[in-house]
Amino acid sequence: MRYTRVYTGPDGETHLADAETAGETIRAVESDLVGTVSETFPVTGVYFREVQQESSPEPHNAPYALFIVGLRGTFSVEVSDGELREFPPGSVLLVEDTTGKGHITRRVGDEPRATLMAPLAR
């Protein structure tokens, strides 16, 4: 399973990197479904967020490490090393730049963005 990391490097800059979870193929106990299951990530809970009004386009850090799953609306993330990527619905990010120069998140298009947020237990 693929996701994108937003992290602070040793240089203090925020970077984007493609990542992939370890996984194993299993047969579900309750049915004949066969699928790949990733490693388990301990979280403190999950919540939904719908952005009605975007914040000013200033760099910021994540308040804590968390997974963000895009549900509706496309958004972009620009990191301090200059890279910019767009993330459509269905994208998964692990945002863990709690220090460093931060990132800027912007809505792409007119549709408000909705996300599922899952803070990691660390």
Hey, where are the domains in the chain? 2-119
* Cα–Cα distance list, 72 to 16, 27, 39, 58 (Å): 21, 31, 26, 23
**pLDDT tens-digit series, residues 61-99:** 999 999 999 999 999 999 999 999 999 999 999 999 999
Q: What is the pLDDT of residue 30?
A: 86
* Cα–Cα distance list, 93 to 3, 13, 17, 27, 30 (Å): 6, 18, 10, 27, 30
**pLDDT tens-digit series, residues 1-18:** 899 999 999 999 999 999
DSSP letters of the chain?
-EEEEEEE-TTS-EEEEEEE--EEEEE-SSSS-EEEEEPP--BS--EEEE-SSPPPS--B--SS-EEEEEEESEEEEEETTS-EEEE-TT-EEEE---SSS-EEEEEESSSPPEEEEEEBP-
Q: Which tops the pLDDT comparison, 81 or 24?
A: 81
**pLDDT tens-digit series, residues 26-69:** 888 888 889 988 999 999 999 999 998 887 789 999 999 999 99
Q: What is the pLDDT of residue 29?
A: 83
Classify domain 2-119 by CATH architecture. Sandwich (2.60)
- 121 is written with which tokens? 């237990």
